[in-house]
Amino acid sequence: MNQFDIYLSGVGGQGIGLLSELIARAIDHSGQRVIGADTHGLAQRGGMVASHIRMGQTVHAALVGKNRADLCVSLERHEALRAMNDFLKNEGTLVYYDALWQPLDVRLAKAKQVENTEIEKEARRRGITAIRVFEDSLEEARMQNIVVSAVICKNSLIPGVNQNHFLLAMDDLMKGKMLEDNQTLFQKMVEKP
Amino acid sequence: MKRMGDFLLSQDPVSEIVIGNTAVVRAMIETGVRVVSSYPGSPTPEIANAIASIDVDKRPFYFEFSVNEKVATEVAFGASVNGHLSCVFFKSVGINVAADTFVQLGLMELIGGMVIILGDDPGANSSQNEQDNRHYSRLSYIPMLEPATPTEVYQMFKEAVLISKEKKMPVILRMSTHVCHAKEKVSFKAMPQLNHSDEPLFSPENGPYIPLTSKALDMKRKALQKWAVVKEISNESAFNVEERFQPKKGFNADFKLGKSKVSINIDTQKDQKRGIITAGVPYLSLKDVLEEVVDKPDILKLGFVNPLPQDKIIRFLEAHHEVKVLEELDDFLEQEIKRLAFEQEIKVKIIGKMDIEDWIGEYTPDKVREVMAKTWKDFPQPVAEDQEKPKINPRPPQMCPGCGHRSAFYAIKKALDATDITVADIGCHTLGALEPYNVGQVLLCMGHSNGTAAGLSLLNHKRRVVSFLGDSTFFHAAIPGIINAIYNNHNHTLIIMENGTTAMTGHQEHPATGKNFNEITQKIPLRQVLEGLGVKDIEEVDTYSQQKLTEAVKKGMDKEGFSVIIAKHPCMLKFTRDQRKAGRNTPNPVHIGDKCNRTYECISEFACPTFQLAPDGSVWVQEDLCIGDRSCMQTCPVQAIEPTAKRGASHESI
């Protein structure tokens, strides 16, 4: 793999950090070079958070360039549109969990809520493959990131990274019941028709 | 599960994916650092997280969060003059707090060695400015190294220690935000055998350490003599690396990054050759941009940003007919490089900053693409933005669901007149300045609020003034301002937003919590300190008691003179995390009952992010956000916010 750029986004508190670490380690387990960077600090308090993952031998900076991501991963609907707008290249892939955490302007009725149809329309216009993820049976919102990682794995959205690499990455990052619950959920989602 | 603490202590060589802030801790351990101190501030607090991952009894050095950056620097200094290798780390603007102490360090004989890690923040990602701290290096005759990647962080920290111990002088490691937070796989070497001595070696004979009268000038002379030696070290350093993309005839040397000492044999026939001098993150961004450039200029990548490797720079300038100095923030390298070219009478075109925008923001690959497009026309030129993209408003940070500060601002606003002046300070409560609260209209830095409020109250007979403070900031830098308010009879009201932690930077302990980084310790309650200082008028209110808080603020502001209200409620983010860790569920979320008449008080005035506005104008509760704190229930004029017996609806079914 020469170069593959992934941009992840969501709202502070959604677990973008863990998802990013999981993907970076899965790439590493696949034997490919990976670099990246996360958002820390102030922005995490309910603001937009982003994480950058870059793989391949020809990547240098930790940050993905605007309109250059091959894959955007988002954990919230508004942030999915923003990620697609700002970072995703035409013909790229967007996968997003359809959580709805309205930004202040939407709550104050100063801006319209983003609808899924808007994301679909824009994706069509730019030749983007948009994958909406929503799992009604999921009781724990903090596991939405695992559901998304399973969808990424199932659709082989990251070149050379398979289910085994994700499971090994989980082994690196979690233990006990958390590991068990997340791996079970991950496998259930991967096998889901 | 891989434990960070395990690989940080690994005796064998180990490779691990880490951020720069973790890599530097391994370097501390390998070099035998004995004392580390800090005050939390982005982008550096994860250094402490890495330290915390090592059990206290296995930790090879002492670590503390000091009360502020100045004290932290003094702690590290004291350890060093006693013979112990020490390290202090803090954020960019932290050096302003430490400055009075910091500028003396270069004059001192630091017999144990001392490294200062500066977390600079180009782009002001989490700081009140993006000041270029390379100037501090020049100001204080303290050498500065600048890594670009976590691997370089690890290597350059070790280099900094070598110089510091040998020359008995401090060395700065400047790590900018996306070096601190960049991650990559770093190969750590085997742990060396280290022999420590706890023998206190301090002696005035090692100094002098008292910079009185003429001694101060002698000490400066010594500092400058050391500086001259470090210039030579910089000249020889393999961290200043040349990369040639256009090898000349007979030129075969490989100039890749690393510590190999390849003597540079530059062909001085320069014809039409272009070069770029750069350092740190801008170097990496440049490399990305160069992937798209056919005629690649040569690069001189600096690891030493002060003092510069003069001979290498001179040779590089001589070998090129046009040299771009690519650096983020100020024209720090540019000035020095132009001076060198002038002194050496080198005929070369040096292209530095071209317009104001070149001085602003982080040099990400996108930014460097813009800067280089202006510099040379064969570089990728900007493409027109796709105008058809849908517009989307930004998502600013906000207080968390259940945050005590939200209740506080909601209640305080009711006590304020439109003409009152509100003085913000640094912490999570700074977010009160944002919509819809708009409480907090002016902010300088940590702990400024009481001094600024005092000034605003002078000659002012019409508008009342209220200042804010967080509890960690209270100890950090606010006490002199409070004493000043009492001493000089100033007329304003201080509201201390006490949440029992240093929340913004990741919930570090502070002197009022009864714990330090390592152990249970004596509590220093805010109220006692205030009473001890002589504040007569102190009210303490839990912020969830909104009406009481409104009354307390009204009462305080009606009084002449200085009064203090402690508006307290524990940080609910920390509280809910602790609850979950203990295996306890948060209470059920609230819901909107039938009584709702769409007054929108919950959305427009209280503005907990839990309350969402459906396209049909109804209000619904995002249960993934609600922590069941119920602080919102009292805000609804028709009591439509109700507790829920069990979890249920999501937006899918609404």
User: Which tokens belong to B23?
Assistant: 């890599």
Q: Given a cut of 90, is residue B313 above it in pLDDT?
A: yes
CB proximity A181 to B under 8 Å: no
**A24/B431 CB distance under 8 A:** no
Whether the predicted pLDDT of B645 surpasses 90: no
- Minimal Cβ distance to B399: which of A45, A60, A102: A45
Average pLDDT of the segment spanning B608-627: 95
pLDDT digits (tens, 9 = 90+) for B166-197: 999 999 999 999 999 999 999 999 999 998 89
DSSP E strands, B135-181: 144-145, 170-176
Task: Name residue B165's amino acid.
Answer: K
Q: What is the structure's pLDDT at B382? A: 87
Sequence-distant (6+) residues with CB within 8 A of B588 are B628, B643, B644, B645, B646, B647
Chain A CB contacts of B288 under 8 Å are: 59-61, 65
DSSP one-letter code for B256: -
Return the percentage of chain B with pLDDT > 70, whole number.
94
Residue ranges of chain B that CATH labels 3.40.50.970: 4-232, 404-578
Flag if B1 and A59 touch (Cβ within 8 Å).
no
Please give the span between the terminal C-alpha atoms of chain A, in angstroms, as a whole number.
29
Residue of A81, A86, A104, A105 to mutate, testing the B interface (most B Cβ within 10 Å of its Cβ):
A104
pLDDT digits (tens, 9 = 90+) for B9-28: 999 999 999 999 999 999 99
What is the rounded distance in angstroms from the CA atom of residue B306 to the CA atom of residue B501?
Answer: 37
The arithmetic mean of pLDDT across residues B485-510, rounded, is 95
B20 touches B153 (CB < 8 A): yes
Q: What is the pLDDT of residues B243-277, one digit of tens each?
A: 998 655 444 444 444 444 444 444 445 556 999 99
Chain A CB within 8 Å of residue B626 CB: no
Cβ–Cβ below 8 Å for A37 and B436? no
Q: May I ask the CATH architecture of the domain B4-232?
A: 3-Layer(aba) Sandwich (3.40)
Predicted ipTM of the assembly: 0.96
Window B:311-370, CB contacts with A under 8 Å: 364-366, 369
CATH superfamily, domain at B404-578: Thiamin diphosphate (ThDP)-binding fold, Pyr/PP domains (3.40.50.970)
Instruction: Kindly determine whether residue B398 and residue A104, on different chains, have CB atoms separated by under 8 Å.
Output: yes
Q: Where in chain B is the domain with CATH 3.40.50.920?
A: 237-375
Q: Which residues pair with A132 in a beta bridge?
A: A96
Torsion angle in degrees (nearest 10) through CA of B613, B616, B618, B624: -50
Among residues 416-445 of chain B, which lie with CB inside 8 Å of chain A? 428, 431, 434-436
Instruction: Answer yes or no: pTM beyond 0.90.
Output: yes
Average pLDDT of every residue of chain B? 93
Q: Is the CB of residue A178 less than 8 Å away from at least one CB of chain B?
A: no
Q: What is the pLDDT of residue B263?
A: 46
pLDDT at A39: 79
Residues of B in contact with A174 (CB under 8 A): 1
- Residues lower than pLDDT 50 in chain A: none
Assess B607–A contact: CB distance below 8 Å, yes or no: yes
Q: Does domain B237-375 have CATH number 3.40.50.920?
A: yes
- The burial class, CB within 10 Å (0-12 / 13-18 / 19+), for B97 is buried
> Tell me, what's the pLDDT at B647?
52
Residue B397 CA neighbour count, 13 Å, CB half:
22
- Identify the CATH assignment for B585-653 out of 3.30.70.100, 2.102.10.10, 3.40.47.40, 3.30.70.20: 3.30.70.20
How far is Cα B630 from Cα B634, in angstroms, rounded to an integer? 8
Q: Which fold has domain A4-191?
A: Pyruvate-ferredoxin Oxidoreductase; domain 3 (3.40.920)
- Checking if the pLDDT of B653 tops 50, the result is no
CB contact under 8 A, A122 and B392: no
Residue B266: its pLDDT value, please? 46
Question: Once rounded to an integer, what is the mean pLDDT over residues B138-158?
Answer: 98
